[in-house]
Amino acid sequence: MPRLGQRMRFGIVCGFAGLWLAWGVSTSLGADGGHASRWIAGDAAIYLELSHASPLLDQLLSDKYQNALTALPGYVQTTRSKTYKQAIAELEHVSKQLGTTWQQGLRDLTGGGIVLAVEGEPGKSARPILIVTPTDPAFLTRTNQTILDRAREKANSQGKADPIQSTDYRGITGYEPGHGAYAIVEGKLVIVDRLKTLQQVIDRVLDGAEAGASLADDATWKARREQAGDRQAWGLVRLDRLRELDPKRFAFKGDPKLPATFLFGSWLEVIRKADWASAALSWTDAGLAAELTLPTPPSGYPDALKGFVPPQGRGATQPVNPPGTIASLSLWRDLASVWEARADLFPPEVVQGLAKLDGVAGQFFGARDFGTDVLGALGDEWRLVIARQDHSSLKPVPDMKLPAFALVVDLKPGDNDFPQRLKVAFQSIVGLINLGGVQSKSPPLELGSETVADVTISTARYMLPKTPADAKEPVHSRHNFSPAIAQVENRFILSSSVSLARDLIQTFKTPAKPEDRTLMVEANGRELADLVEINKSRLVMQNMLEKGHNKTQAEHEISVLTQLLRYLGLARLSVQDSAEVVRLKLNLDLAN
């Protein structure tokens, strides 16, 4: 399937309307007979719509969103460029002629909605179709004529030929502005890749699509559209159709890699086998919500993937959120089953590499078999936590303040020897770190222990020097780390810092119930922004060295990054595996 870049761009550069339309994509939800989906072929591979353009435009044009954009690489430079300023000047000039502003003009042009679809046949160029329904068709006509007059006036003043060719087809005027073609058809703006596609759309509108020939009659499209409900944006991708059009690009095959397979094993299978994928989006002052849905494989998952999909009604527990949490992840994974099926999941070279883990298990876990006796002793609930530390309590206080992180895994009951083996393994690893530290002249880690809420924490702290360090010398970042382990009932904690281990012990005093989701992730932009603020002086210095900025420029860049992180607020991601579909949800509680 050929790339659509050049042919899609013409809709943005063809003039004032194109620049307005570049802000968003939506669709009219008026009477079914005039719905833009009836102008799209039933076998279209991609369909996108935005049913409520104004709320989305309000968010895009809001001060808080525009301010957040300044943190994106190159955004400020783009807005200061000559090309950008000329485009804005052109927008304002045409807006004035129309007696409006470009912001209000955009709302009027897209008030009825926009549909974007991609059609195609194997071996032929793709056919993108953009259909825009204005609030007032008369305003669309005036806008088009104003753009035409402006373009021809400029060309004439420069002694150039008419830049926009016009062609009449069945009583409708089509325009070719260099790349692609467009026309106003029954009060809607239709923008396509070439004149032939435009004529096909006009034929469908004037002749009426045969029963079952339009996308609006497609059973999959109707079912998914009804399921989406009243969303600002919604889309459907026919993955089976994409595979027909370009098998090489859309077969989604390749050598399975260990990290990708471990994290996404069953979901990769879903993408390879799914016939369709639908997405929906809503954006309000409260935040942004997005959802992606794919069907499960028709014949079910192969046995090799049973370690990735929890039984119905089971799943991961809610992510833990000790004080200062930056990010928290909770994942359901039966690693013993994954290990058992490794020959079916990974290529031979990866399987050979995994075999070395049996040797590691022998060294650290008393000759236990890695699959049966190590992974088999672990539960299916895995949690990862990243949190800010109270750096003032660290001795010495490191110059670069890093967050703490912890891995929490459930232990299966009945194996009382395994927790002790984990403790011995922790001590052995600390010993190996100390041996390596001798060569780099690093201070050794001292083993110790403390008790919090009747739970014993095994600790390791870097030995303090006998004499105070030179105050002018930077304190090494290693002092962010004080490795610790602890066990709270059946939960084993491995933490990079004692303080986070303490907080997790208190958190686990209140048990959480399993949810019906396989993966849950939370990320707090405000907490991360606070960490950036704490390290601002070091980050400014690093920015000056790496990018050659002066201090003012570096401070501005770090401040903008902090502002963006605070704007993003709290993010929540979840994946639910049901018998019929896999549903991914993303929610952003944006800062007001």
- What is the tens place of the pLDDT at every residue in 80-111? 899 989 888 888 999 999 999 988 999 999 99
Quote the radius of gyration of the chain (alpha carbons, Å).
Answer: 30
In degrees to the nearest 10, what's the CA dihedral of 83, 89, 90, 96? Answer: 170
The structure tokens listed for 304 are: 């090799």
Buried b (16+ CB within 10 A) or exposed e, 532-564: beebbebbbeebbeeeeeeeeebbbbbebbbbb
Instruction: Supply the angle between the helices 551-568 and 536-547 in degrees, to the nearest 10.
Output: 120
Q: Extract long-range pairs of 10-14: CB within 8 Å, 24+ residues apart.
A: 10/177, 10/178, 10/179, 10/180, 10/191, 11/130, 11/180, 11/182, 11/191, 13/177, 13/179, 14/147, 14/177, 14/178, 14/179, 14/180, 14/182, 14/191
Q: Angle at CA 374, nearest 5°, toward 372 and 375? A: 75
Residue with tokens 């019906």: 516
Of 265, 242, 426, the closest CA to residue 332 belongs to 265
**Residue 587 pLDDT > 50, yes or no?**
yes
If you average pLDDT over residues 107-132, what whole number do you get? 93
Helix (H) or strand (E) holding 431: helix 417-440
168-219: pLDDT as tens digits: 999 999 999 988 999 999 999 999 999 999 999 999 999 987 767 899 999 9
Side chain identity at residue 94, one-letter code:
V
Buried b (16+ CB within 10 A) or exposed e, 145-174: ebbbebbeeeeeeeeeeebbeeeeeeebeb
- pLDDT recorded at residue 560: 86
461-516: pLDDT as tens digits: 998 877 666 667 788 889 999 999 999 999 999 999 999 999 999 999 887 888 89
Give backbone dihedrals phi and psi of 575, rounded to 5 degrees, phi first: -130, 125
Residue 28's pLDDT band (cuts 50, 70, 90): very low
Of 167, 206, 166, the closest CA to residue 185 belongs to 206
Residues contacting residue 63 through CB under 8 Å, at least 6 positions apart: none
Which sequence spans correspond to the domains of the chain?
Answer: 5-244
Of 8-17, 137-146, 160-169, 557-566, where does mean pLDDT reach its minimum?
8-17
Instruction: Supply the angle between the helices 102-110 and 82-98 in degrees, to the nearest 10.
Output: 70
Asked if residues 502 and 323 have their Cβ atoms less than 8 Å apart, the reply is: no
The structure tokens listed for 5 are: 């870049």
Asked if residues 483 and 461 have their Cβ atoms less than 8 Å apart, the reply is: no
Instruction: Supply the angle between the helices 102-110 and 137-157 in degrees, to the nearest 10.
Output: 130
Buried b (16+ CB within 10 A) or exposed e, 481-493: bbbbbbbbeebbb
Distance CA 106, CA 324 (A): 42
Query: How far, rounded to the nearest angstrom, does the alpha carbon of residue 476 sit from its chain's CA centroid?
Result: 34
3-state secondary structure at position 3: coil
**Residue 21 pLDDT > 70, yes or no?**
no
Of 569, 455, 584, the closest CA to residue 519 belongs to 584
331-373: pLDDT as tens digits: 999 999 999 999 888 888 888 888 887 777 777 888 788 888 9
Asked if residues 438 and 360 have their Cβ atoms less than 8 Å apart, the reply is: no
Buried b (16+ CB within 10 A) or exposed e, 184-212: bbeebbbbbbbbebbbbbbebbeeebeee
Q: Please, is 408 exposed, middle or buried when counting C-beta atoms within 10 Å of its C-beta (0-12, 13-18, 19+)?
A: buried
Residues contacting residue 121 through CB under 8 Å, at least 6 positions apart: 245
Count of C-beta atoms within a 10 Å radius of residue 446: 14
DSSP per-residue letters across 355-402? THHHHHHHHHTTT--IIIIIGGGEEEEEEEEEE---GGGSSSPPSS--
- pLDDT recorded at residue 592: 63
Q: Please, is 26 exposed, middle or buried when counting C-beta atoms within 10 Å of its C-beta (0-12, 13-18, 19+)?
A: buried
3-state secondary structure at position 406: strand
Asked if residues 155 and 178 have their Cβ atoms less than 8 Å apart, the reply is: no
Positive or negative torsion for Cα 145, 147, 151, 157: positive
Helix (H) or strand (E) holding 110: helix 102-110
59-83: pLDDT as tens digits: 888 887 887 787 777 787 888 899 9
Distance CA 591, CA 528 (A): 14
Distance CA 583, CA 592 (A): 28
Residue that wins the pLDDT comparison between 51 and 101: 101
- pLDDT recorded at residue 471: 66
- pLDDT recorded at residue 251: 80
Helix (H) or strand (E) holding 582: strand 581-589
Q: Please, is 249 exposed, middle or buried when counting C-beta atoms within 10 Å of its C-beta (0-12, 13-18, 19+)?
A: exposed
The structure tokens listed for 86 are: 């000329």
- pLDDT recorded at residue 30: 35
The structure tokens listed for 510 are: 């209140």
Asked if residues 489 and 514 have their Cβ atoms less than 8 Å apart, the reply is: no
Residues contacting residue 559 through CB under 8 Å, at least 6 positions apart: none
For 15: left if phi > 0, alpha if psi spans -120 to 50, otherwise beta; the answer is: left
Positive or negative torsion for Cα 391, 395, 398, 402: negative
Residue 327's pLDDT band (cuts 50, 70, 90): very high
Residue 14's pLDDT band (cuts 50, 70, 90): very low
The structure tokens listed for 132 are: 């825009």
Residues contacting residue 478 through CB under 8 Å, at least 6 positions apart: 398, 442, 462
- pLDDT recorded at residue 29: 33
